[in-house]
Amino acid sequence: MSIFTGAGVALITPFHEDGSVNYTKLTEILEEQIAGGTDSIIICGTTGEASTLSHEEHIEVIRYTCEVVNHRIPVIAGTGSNCTETACYLSKEAERVGADGLLLVSPYYNKATQKGLIAHFGTIAQSVHIPILLYNIPSRTGVTIQPQTIVTLVKEYKNIVGVKEASGNFSAIAQMMALAKEQLNGEIDVYSGNDDQVVPLLALGGKGVISVLSNIAPAQVHEMCDSYFRGETTKSTQMQVEAIPLINALFCEVNPIPVKAAMNLMGKETGPLRMPLTTMEEDNQKVLKKAMEAYGLL
C-alpha cells in the first residue's frame, strides 16, 4: 500500500532569528497543514534545509514532527546522504523516533554509478523496515537514477516502494512506468517532485506530489490531486495552469529561498535561512508578492 496518495508538503524548517529551530512555529505550521488537507508531511528534505541541520537537530526535528502529527497523516523523513553510513544512521534514527517512511536523495557530489546507486540504496533499505521513496533530482545531485535502476530497486527490496521524480524527463518517467508494468505488475509509487508537473505525472499513473507550493497553498494542491482522482480532470488541469505563475515565482531563486519569503509575507514568521542561503532579491520579492496576490494568498 502506498505511503500516501495526493498532496504531500515538502515542509520548511522554521528558525528563530539566532538560527535555532523554532519548534513553537513548527507546531503551528504542522497544524495548519493538517487543517488544510495535506495528505503527508515530508520533513527534513531540501525545502527543510536539512543539509544545514546537525545530525542531532535533524533527528529531533523528525521526532518532534512525529509527536505533533501523532499518526493523523504519514510523516516521511528525508534521511539521504552522499555517505551511505550516514544515510543508514539517519534512516535508522528516523524509524526509531516514529517516521512512517523515508525519502532518500541520490548521492550528490561523489556521483555514484548505477551499480553504486543500487548498492547504496540497497544497503540503507536493509538497515530499516519502513517504506522508502527514492528521490531523483539530477539538477541538484549531478546524478540521474535511471528508470531500470529504480525498477530494479523496487523489485529487489520490498521496502523500497517508489520514487519522487524531479528530473522533469517525462520520456524517462514513461519508460519507468512501462518497465514497472512489465517487471512489477505496475506496483510502483511515483510522486511529482515538480509543482508545475503534477497533473501530467498523475496522467502517467502517479500517486501524487511532494510539493513546495503546499507550504503556502495546502488546500489548493490537495484539491488539484483529489479532483484528478475523482475524475474531474478538466478542473485539475485548470488548477495546475492557474498555479503556474506562482510556481514560477517560487522557483525564481533556489528553493527554499522564495517559499520562506512567501510564508513571511503571509505573516507566518518562519525566520531566516541558514547560510549559504541568503534573503531573496528585492526585485524577485516584488514578482513573488504580485503572484501571491493574483493567486489570492495576499
- Catalytic annotation, pick one of 135, 191, 228, 295: 135
The helix (run of H) or strand (run of E) holding residue 104 is strand 101-105
Q: Which residues contact 279 (CB under 8 A, 6 or more apart)?
A: 257, 261, 272, 273
Q: Are 7 and 208 in contact (CB under 8 A)?
A: yes
Catalytic residue among 89, 92, 158, 164: 164
**3-state SS of the chain: helix, strand, coil percent to 5?**
50, 15, 35
Digits of tens for pLDDT over the chain (298 positions)? 799 999 999 999 999 999 999 999 999 999 999 999 999 999 999 999 999 999 999 999 999 999 999 999 999 999 999 999 999 999 999 999 999 999 999 999 999 999 999 999 999 999 999 999 999 999 999 999 999 999 999 999 999 999 999 999 999 999 999 999 999 999 999 999 999 999 999 999 999 999 999 999 999 999 999 999 999 999 999 999 999 999 999 999 999 999 999 999 999 999 999 999 999 999 999 999 999 999 999 9
> Quick check: is 164 catalytic?
yes
Note the pTM of the prediction, 2 decimals.
0.97
